[in-house]
Amino acid sequence: MTYISSTVCTPTVTDVPRHIAIIMDGNGRWAQRRRLPRVAGHTKGLDAVRTIVEACAARGVEFLTLFAFSSENWRRPVDEVSFLMRLFISALEREIARLHTNGIRLRVVGDLSMFEPRIQELVRRAQAKTAANTGLTLTIAANYGGRWDILQATRKIAQQCVDAGAMQNVDEASFAQHLAMAYAPEPDLFIRTGGEQRVSNFLLWQLAYTEFYFTDVFWPDFNDAQLSKAIASYRERERRFGRTSAQLTRQSQNVDSLSC
């Protein structure tokens, strides 16, 4: 891992990723391999969520973002969707006290208007209860899609233009302020379990310079040791952000002061 000392506009690279984003894939196959119904994999997947939240908090990861339900997951069999909704409700009801005790701040991003009012209310209460916590920020992406996020940001900017009666100055930084996760830095490390190697409409804007790690391990089997492997792989990467290797070496020795 190349350590980049403070610069004006290159994100600081640290040995522990500040922000890890995960697509938790493979629940269904984990269950089917054991001749269990697919939903048993989701229940076991929630245990893995607990393990990884604790493991990230213990390592000093600042932001953990989990893709729990994509905007495309509504296409699944009705029984599976309603099971996932019940699991979400029970997680919100049962886990919040523990998250709060551990200083974890919970955020939920996505188009929540599609969820039943009870879920919306539980999300609102959980976010309010944990809002002032200063430990790990755990974001659950629910009915989230990267294209939805870019579109909703674009609509907000268009509305600002209408309100002002003039075109507004928009650059990458001001655009990103309208994204659902404007409160977090872009992910340093993206992990996808379950063997597939695609982004599946996750954080499309924010993953531009993220390091990717794919593993065949199914999500219910993803544990502390697996997380260590992912972070070890991340540490071996050289994050150049468009620059050359030589520039980064000189910069880390404070020989050069690079401008944007």
Q: Report how many residues bind ligand FPP under the rule CB under 6 A.
A: 20
What are the Cα distances from residue 147, in Å, to 43, 73, 143, 150, 179? Answer: 28, 15, 12, 5, 11
Q: Give me the least distance between CB of 196 and ligand FPP, in Å please.
A: 7
Task: Return the residues of window 19-38 that contact ligand FPP according to CB under 6 A.
Answer: 24-29
Task: Return the residues of window 115-174 that contact ligand FPP according to CB under 6 A.
Answer: 140
Which of 167, 164, 165, 187 is closest to 176 using CA atoms? Answer: 187
Q: Is 211 annotated as a binding residue?
A: yes
Q: Is 110 in the site for ligand FPP (CB under 6 A)?
A: no
For 43, residues 6+ apart whose C-beta sits below 8 A from its C-beta are 87
Interacting stretch for ligand FPP, rule CB under 6 A, among 41-49, 122-130, 226-234, 236-244? 41-49
Q: Is 243 annotated as a binding residue?
A: no
Comparison of 67 and 234: residue with beta carbon closer to ligand FPP: 67
Interacting stretch for ligand FPP, rule CB under 6 A, among 13-21, 54-62, 80-88, 182-190? 80-88
Identify whether the C-beta of residue 220 lies closer than 8 Å to the C-beta of residue 27.
yes
Identify whether the C-beta of residue 235 lies closer than 8 Å to the C-beta of residue 1.
yes
CA 72 to chain centre: 17
Q: Is 219 annotated as a binding residue?
A: no
Q: Give me the least distance between CB of 119 and ligand FPP, in Å please.
A: 11
Which of 203, 107, 72, 192 is closest to 147 using CA atoms? Answer: 203
Binding site for ligand FPP (CB under 6 A): 24-29, 42, 45-46, 49, 66, 68, 73, 84, 87-88, 91, 140, 194, 219
